[in-house]
Structure 1
Amino acid sequence: MAGLRRIKLGSQGLEVSAQGLGCMGMSAFYGPAKPDADMIKLIHHAVDSGVTFLDTSDVYGPHTNEVLLGMALSGGVRDKVELATKFGINFFAENKEIRGDPEYVRAACEGSLKRLGLDCIDLYYQHRIDTRVPIEVTVGELKKLVVEGKIKYIGLSEASASTIRRAHAVHPITAVQLEWSLWSRDVEEDIIPTCRELGIGIVAYSPLGRGFLSSGPKFVETLANDDFRKYLPRFQGENLEHNKTIFERVSDLAARKGCTPSQLALAWVHHQGNDVCPIPGTTKIENFNQNIGALAVKLTPEEMAELESFASADAVKGDRYQSDFSTWKNSETPTLSSWKSA
């Protein structure tokens, strides 16, 4: 698979493997952190397999996932990868806050560079939008970091269409990261068309529904108490019972296609276009190998329509996150003029 297909992400020149690797679950949120040696072996296997687009964030751990990536990228691996990391979720504040002020942007970037052992970050995302600071101010500081050579490309994560437009007017946005999968399709109405109009690449996180589209409802019973998926609305009681039907129908079609449910779900994302890069995460080499097999699964228009018929935007019960978690739905920021006059 070393000849894995590559795609252009955005209009500024970034080129990545058609599928990336989300590294969060190696260190955080999905139960206990996994052994560094095993995860470094997995990362090296991914790069050798042609998956060179690696995704992390300073909040994963916090910080430990970036340190892990730094170790994995030593010894000549750095030149083979496109590395993305993120800033903006401050876990060290008393009540966990989102920050996009220039001072914080710069300090976060310097911290990530140090932990990763890099001089420059390929793609630097604002992980969540600070609704207290105009997006123009945050992107203005990111633009300075581009000029200084500390980052190559700017990205946003969980940003609304209007936020993306305002940011893009300050400096071209290369990629928007958003949750997009068979059971998370609300971004298709406004955000995806906006990205395409502006020539912005789309990076789909949780393309396997946080494991649901791989294993179905039974996997929820096996989650550790410190795995945050256990507490998501979609994985609770009646919602989970209802959503089980979606997995069953995906599984039926996968059996007819001769592939696994996860390969079918990933193939659906790949068929959305050459400007879309899903970044499924895993901690197991066998799951990684299965995931890249999705690139060989071809879907007819009829099969796409069938998948979408039982996984429509309103078919899923339960929100993506708990109600206190920020997403693109609450990502609007003050205007520059109102902020300056305040």
Structure 2
Amino acid sequence: MSVQQNVELSPDARGGASGATLSEGSVGVDRAGVAFAADAVADTPSLDVPSGLAARVPTPLPGDPRLARLSLNQRTTANWTLREAIDGSVAAGLGAIGVWREPLADVGLDTAAGWIADSGLRVSSICRGGFFTVIDPAARRAAHDENLRALDEAAALNAPTLVLVPGGLPEGSKDLVGARTRAAEAIAELAPEARARGVVLGIEPMNPIFAADRGVVSTLGQALALAEPFAPEEVGVVVDTFHLWWEPGVLELVAGAGERIVSYQVCDWITPLPADTLLSRGMMGDGHIDFPAFTRAVAASGYAGDVEVEIFHADVWAAPGAEVVATMARRYAELVEPWL
């Protein structure tokens, strides 16, 4: 790779408004002295995923300090195996990876732990535990045991947080209060187990459109109330922009949450919503969320951990993983990192 430094680049050469870059495999340095990756042809801009539009900013290179806290949540590149996600994160210069349990199971915990340790990446979180809201006692015990396995996996990977998706209404039930009560009881049972393993349970409040089938905890206020009886090293909350951007007073809640915030996850809310609303997460900047405002509130809380990009979107999943990671690095550097 040829390195081009100490040069004054034109706006087009730096990627300026058009996103145009230099020759294939080269590296440029912008006016602030920050290196960025070049594209295939001098006048060919980087293209963002999934919009296909010219990139608004240059792609940060490995070693760029802006990438130090950026984490690739595995679902953002769902077409990548765990091995590919690790390698892609390292190649892009990211600091961390958010691991999902299903691809972890595909390769085995010991193999995955070795890969990640060798890569130098941090594991920002393990996703996911939870699904506490079943009624049958045997099913509740099975859910508890599965969460213990998830905690063991998180501990083995030195992940600070196990993300908890509370679960929805059991089939045929309309008892939302009862479901939330069972979630609280399950968390109370898991909290000492998490503490013993050095892992924090991260309650993820979910947008109300998912209350029936996925997450009966719908607001940050509810999640903080569930966490409050426990020590911060046992139970915290996940701040996910997709789920919380709409909540009245959420920025004040975030800023005041302090050490209860154990994970910051970012992606955008896009409209029109697809038929499968689970796939309505967009790349930052493609939707309606004010990321600078949200990130300022997270920073005000004192949160200093990794920032995961977690996107569920069919077009993102269909794109080459390296292009997805390059786009998310650009959007993170533009819309999130400056306000951390």
Q: Does the 8 Å contact 1:84/1:123 carry over to 2?
A: yes
Q: Does the 8 Å contact 1:146/1:152 carry over to 2?
A: yes
Aligned to 1:166: 226
Aligned to 1:196: 255
Cα 1:175–1:77 shift into 2, 3 Å: farther
Aligned to 1:142: 190
Aligned to 2:69: 18
Larger Rg belongs to = 2
Equivalent in 78, 83, 97 of residue 54 of structure 1: 97
| Letter paired with 1:294 | R
Identity %: 8
Aligned to 1:82: 123
Aligned to 1:152: 199
Aligned to 2:246: 186
Aligned partners of 2:92 and 2:265: how far apart in 1?
A: 20
Equivalent in 292, 297, 321 of residue 329 of structure 2: 292
Deviations 1:107-153 (A, max 9, x none): 32315646x7926542112212572545553333332223422x422
Q: CA deviation at 1:19?
A: 2.8
Aligned to 1:41: 84
Aligned partners of 1:264 and 1:271: how far apart in 2?
A: 17
Corresponding residue pairs, total:
233
Deviations 1:311-339 (A, max 9, x none): xxxxxxxxxxxxxxxxxxxxxxxxxxxxx
User: Which structure has the higher relative contact order (CA within 8 Å, separation 6+)?
Assistant: 1
Aligned to 2:41: none
Name segments (4+ residues, structure 1) moved above 6 Å. Answer: 263-266
Aligned to 1:122: 160
Q: Does the 8 Å contact 2:163/2:203 carry over to 1?
A: yes
Aligned to 2:213: none
Cα 1:54–1:144 shift into 2, 3 Å: same
Aligned partners of 2:157 and 2:333: how far apart in 1?
A: 36
TM-align CA RMSD: 4.7
DSSP 3-state at the match of 1:170: coil
Aligned to 2:56: none
Q: CA deviation at 1:154?
A: 2.1
Q: Does the 8 Å contact 1:56/1:84 carry over to 2?
A: yes
DSSP 3-state at the match of 2:229: helix
Superposition map of 1:140-289 within 5 A: 140-149=188-197, 151-158=198-205, 159=217, 160=219, 161-172=221-232, 175-181=236-242, 185-187=245-247, 189-199=248-258, 200-201=260-261, 203-205=263-265, 207-209=267-269, 212=270, 229-232=274-277, 261-262=285-286, 268=292, 270=295, 272-274=297-299, 275=303, 277-281=307-311, 284-289=321-326
DSSP 3-state at the match of 1:43: helix
DSSP 3-state at the match of 1:51: coil
Aligned partners of 2:278 and 2:88: how far apart in 1?
A: 34
Q: CA deviation at 1:155?
A: 0.7
Q: Does the 8 Å contact 2:132/2:186 carry over to 1?
A: no
Q: CA deviation at 1:170?
A: 1.7
The structure where helix makes up a greater share of residues is 1
Q: CA deviation at 1:26?
A: 4.3
Q: Does the 8 Å contact 2:99/2:123 carry over to 1?
A: no
Q: Structure 2 unaligned runs (5+)?
A: 1-61, 169-178, 206-216
TM-score (norm 1): 0.51
